[in-house]
């Protein structure tokens, strides 16, 4: 494989650019559904490359893969906190009259799976998955109506050790694809920061989760709109001022002055950063109190990765959600995890010139020189395939010139030529396309 091509040499029509996703009118069936993507083989090779890095980072940290259906009960997502995600469901009634939806995220499905085996699964549960998720969103750079979302979660551990391990998975992945800590930052905070601030003002429970959802929209909505929404939740001027002050903090020492001396939020954050020091990953991290995340279920550590230039949407996000199971009618089990979409990371890799040029993976091209030699070429291809080579056999009348161009285009290593005289002598001619060397080989010994 060649190293990396520059961004100009590799512009992805539907993916890295992100905007040229389908945008059809209802009658235009030649285009797919708006906001969805086709993956042509070139893009599919890249997707597989990306996913292979997702698999490798998770496996290197001892996670096992799981999966679940893309179709779920709508009920699984009926939450009251006013999250965007529940307003974006691809939901409908099936032919049996059940309310169902395409999953917008994986966490509730995972919770359902854990709950279904309550108590029977040995903890900690360390699982990962790469589901396709569906959200009826406004399509924009890095956001589509479907995306693949790498999910890595740990269930059954209370401590920030689990959160630190997840951050290590992330950094392992970033390094493996060639990114550096100068390229992006994982901003880390803890929901308990805001919980303590609001708790002191007597704001708890549902109002707390709803406040987090509003705060998460701070960089997307004008300040007046945010203020209005906070006021609608019952926050007075004092409360809003205090929220603003604390959210602006980027230093743990400042935070510890602002919160109680025995603040659990500060303790957890300090512990988490200390553990990350041992992993050697602190250059990738920054404390940022403004990270609260836009989903209601988070209860502790929260984090989001962003490009340092702040030009793209969040690369990934996650956090601790210790009380999700009880909201689904089960017995709580501590949990923490993250979701990592395929779209923004491809944007970032593209901007950084880190998109690899991937050949098709065919090793040999077998070509008969004339029609009469086709059966011989088939026998040769079969022999090579049986020995484990991936072989593209030329099935129609093609000239040698075409075969050379085809080999170049697909990155094949060898051209295997079945020629009349050589075949008579039990031989085939093989050209090594890397070195240019050409020699005859015994067909029997291939
Ligand atoms: P989320 O922040 O909604 O969290 O999504 C996680 C990531 O999925 C985002 O940072 C982004 O990379 C990607 N993503 C989300 N929506 C889209 C979209 N419309 N188009 C492209 N990419 C998108 C969750 O979903 C949580 N369930 C993550 C989690 C797992 N928390 C704990 N475990």
Rounded to the nearest angstrom, the distance between the alpha carbon of 51 and the centre of ligand 1 is 16
Terminal-to-terminal C-alpha distance of the chain: 25
- Mutation choice for ligand 1 from 305, 317, 320, 343, CB with most ligand atoms inside 8 A: 317
Q: Residue 17 — very low, low, confident or very high, per pLDDT cuts 50/70/90? A: very low
Beta strand pairing call for 364-368 and 414-418: parallel
Residue 53 CA to residue 286 CA, distance in Å, equals: 24
Ligand 1-lining residues (CB < 6 angstroms): 105, 107, 135, 137, 143-144, 147, 149, 151, 153, 295, 314-318, 337-341, 343-344
Give the CA count within 13 Å in the CB-facing half-sphere of 97. Answer: 0
Residue 436 CA to residue 433 CA, distance in Å, equals: 5
Place of tokens 């400042």: 254
Q: Nearest Cα to 62, choosing from 152, 148, 158?
A: 152
Residue 102 CA to residue 69 CA, distance in Å, equals: 9
The answer to whether the CB of 388 falls within 8 A of the CB of 36 is: no
Residue 311 CA to residue 61 CA, distance in Å, equals: 30
- The residues pairing with 418 across neighbouring beta strands, listed in sequence order, are 368
Rounded to the nearest angstrom, the distance between the alpha carbon of 287 and the centre of ligand 1 is 20
Asked if residue 83 has pLDDT above 70, the reply is yes
- Four-point Cα dihedral 166, 171, 176, 177, nearest 10: 110
Residue 171 CA to residue 167 CA, distance in Å, equals: 6
The CATH classification number of 5-195+281-351 equals 3.30.930.10
- The residues pairing with 440 across neighbouring beta strands, listed in sequence order, are 429
Residue 212 CA to residue 79 CA, distance in Å, equals: 14
Quick one: what percent of the chain has pLDDT higher than 90?
78
- Mutation choice for ligand 1 from 105, 132, 338, CB with most ligand atoms inside 8 A: 105
**Domain extent listing, the chain:** 5-195+281-351, 364-445
Lowest mean pLDDT, pick from 202-206, 304-308, 375-379, 408-412: 202-206
Q: Residue 287 — very low, low, confident or very high, per pLDDT cuts 50/70/90? A: very high
Residue 277 CA to residue 179 CA, distance in Å, equals: 19
Q: What is the pLDDT of residue 156?
A: 97
Report if pTM > 0.85: yes
* DSSP assigned state of 393: E
Q: Which is the closest atom of ligand 1 to the Cα of 151?
A: 30
Rounded to the nearest angstrom, the distance between the alpha carbon of 339 and the centre of ligand 1 is 5
Beta strand pairing call for 316-320 and 285-287: unpaired
Host H or E run for residue 374? helix 374-386
The answer to whether the CB of 293 falls within 8 A of the CB of 302 is: yes
Lowest mean pLDDT, pick from 70-74, 91-95, 235-239, 324-328: 235-239
CATH of 364-445, one of 3.40.50.300, 3.30.390.30, 3.30.300.30, 3.40.50.800: 3.40.50.800
Residue 359 CA to residue 408 CA, distance in Å, equals: 9
- Four-point Cα dihedral 410, 150, 292, 303, nearest 10: -80
In this structure, the residue with its CA closest to atom 20 of ligand 1 is 143
Q: Which is the closest atom of ligand 1 to the Cα of 304?
A: 10
The answer to whether the CB of 354 falls within 8 A of the CB of 4 is: yes
In this structure, the residue with its CA closest to atom 12 of ligand 1 is 341
Rounded to the nearest angstrom, the distance between the alpha carbon of 122 and the centre of ligand 1 is 27
Residue 301 CA to residue 285 CA, distance in Å, equals: 13
- Mutation choice for ligand 1 from 37, 149, 174, 316, CB with most ligand atoms inside 8 A: 149
Structure tokens, 297? 């279920």
Rounded to the nearest angstrom, the distance between the alpha carbon of 104 and the centre of ligand 1 is 9
**3-class SS at 432?**
strand
| Fold agreement between 5-195+281-351 and 364-445 | no
């Amino acid at each position: 494989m060649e190293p990396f091509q520059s961004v100009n040499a590799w512009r992805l029509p539907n993916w890295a650019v992100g905007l040229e996703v389908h945008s059809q009118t209802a009658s235009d069936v030649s285009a797919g559904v708006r906001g969805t993507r086709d993956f042509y083989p070139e893009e599919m090779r890249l997707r597989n490359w990306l996913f292979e890095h997702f698999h490798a980072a998770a496996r290197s940290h001892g996670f096992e893969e799981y999966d679940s259906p893309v179709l779920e009960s709508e009920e699984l997502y009926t939450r009251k906190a006013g999250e965007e995600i529940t307003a974006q469901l691809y939901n409908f009634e099936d032919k049996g009259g059940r309310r169902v939806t395409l999953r917008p995220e994986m966490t509730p499905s995972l919770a359902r799976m854990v709950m279904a085996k309550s108590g029977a699964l040995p903890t900690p549960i360390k699982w990962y998955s790469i589901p396709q998720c569906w959200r009826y969103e406004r399509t924009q750079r890095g956001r589509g109506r479907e995306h693949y979302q790498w999910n890595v979660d740990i269930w059954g551990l209370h401590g920030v050790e689990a959160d630190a391990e997840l951050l290590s998975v992330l950094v392992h992945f970033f390094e493996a694809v060639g990114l550096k800590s100068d390229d992006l930052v994982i901003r880390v905070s803890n929901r308990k920061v805001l919980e303590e601030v609001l708790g002191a003002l007597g704001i708890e429970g549902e109002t707390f989760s709803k406040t987090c959802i509003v705060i998460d929209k701070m960089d997307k909505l004008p300040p007046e709109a945010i203020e209005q929404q906070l006021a609608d939740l019952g926050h007075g001027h004092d409360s809003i001022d205090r929220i603003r002050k604390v959210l602006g903090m980027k230093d743990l020492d400042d935070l510890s002055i602002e919160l109680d001396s025995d603040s659990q939020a500060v303790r957890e954050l300090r512990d988490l950063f200390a553990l990350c020091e041992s992993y050697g990953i602190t250059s990738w991290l920054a404390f940022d109190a403004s990270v609260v995340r836009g989903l209601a279920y988070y209860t502790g550590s929260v984090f989001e990765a962003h490009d340092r230039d702040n030009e793209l949407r969040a690369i990934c996000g996650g956090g601790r959600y210790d009380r999700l199971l009880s909201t689904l009618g089960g017995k709580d089990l501590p949990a923490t995890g993250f979701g990592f979409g395929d779209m923004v990371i491809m944007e970032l890799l593209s901007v950084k010139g880190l998109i690899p040029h991937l050949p098709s993976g065919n090793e040999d091209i077998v070509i008969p020189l004339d029609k009469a030699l086709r059966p011989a070429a088939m026998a040769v291809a079969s022999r090579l395939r049986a020995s484990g080579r991936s072989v593209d056999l030329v099935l129609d009348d093609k000239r040698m010139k075409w075969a050379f161009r085809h080999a170049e285009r697909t990155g094949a290593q060898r051209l295997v030529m079945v020629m009349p005289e050589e075949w008579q002598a039990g031989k085939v001619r093989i050209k090594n396309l890397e070195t240019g060397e050409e020699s005859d080989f015994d067909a029997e010994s291939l």
